[in-house]
Amino acid sequence: MENFLDSVKQAMDSAVKKTGQMVEKTKVKLAAVDTKNTLRATYVRLGELTYCAARGDETLGDQIEQVLLEIDRLKETLARQEESANETAGIPGTSGTKYCPHCGASCTPTALFCSNCGKQM
């Protein structure tokens, strides 16, 4: 009877751990969705500012520059979040991918030479 209870307890422990991982994964995914929405809204703002600037409002240069910086930041955040969501899911993160400095082709992280142009990485 004691053995039976032990195995039930173990099964429950492992279920709790799995649930914890899933919750973590969902959290990261939700954060990424949130960042995407913010990014979309920022693009809309950039569109409005660009429209006004194109219509002759010359005071908007600084604001446009700030929105551009904000978009850069959001894109970085989103990339990190998506990477960590993939890692949590057991898929190798895109951080493992190397890009050829000569032609820009994506290569495996361990590649010493580019599979596209053959130059040294």
User: Would you tell me which residues interact with Zn ion (CB under 5 A)?
Assistant: 100, 102-103, 105, 114, 116-117
Cβ proximity of 83 and 95 under 8 Å: yes
Q: How far is the CB of 32 from Zn ion (least distance, A)?
A: 30
Cβ proximity of 89 and 82 under 8 Å: no
Q: How far is the CB of 100 from Zn ion (least distance, A)?
A: 3
| Smaller CB separation from Zn ion, 49 or 100 | 100
Note the residue count of the chain. Answer: 121
| Smaller CB separation from Zn ion, 28 or 114 | 114
Q: How far is the CB of 79 from Zn ion (least distance, A)?
A: 22
118: left (phi > 0), else alpha (psi -120 to 50), else beta?
A: left
Among residues 31, 41, 40, the alpha carbon closest in space to that of 78 is found at 31
| Smaller CB separation from Zn ion, 20 or 104 | 104
Q: How far is the CB of 41 from Zn ion (least distance, A)?
A: 37
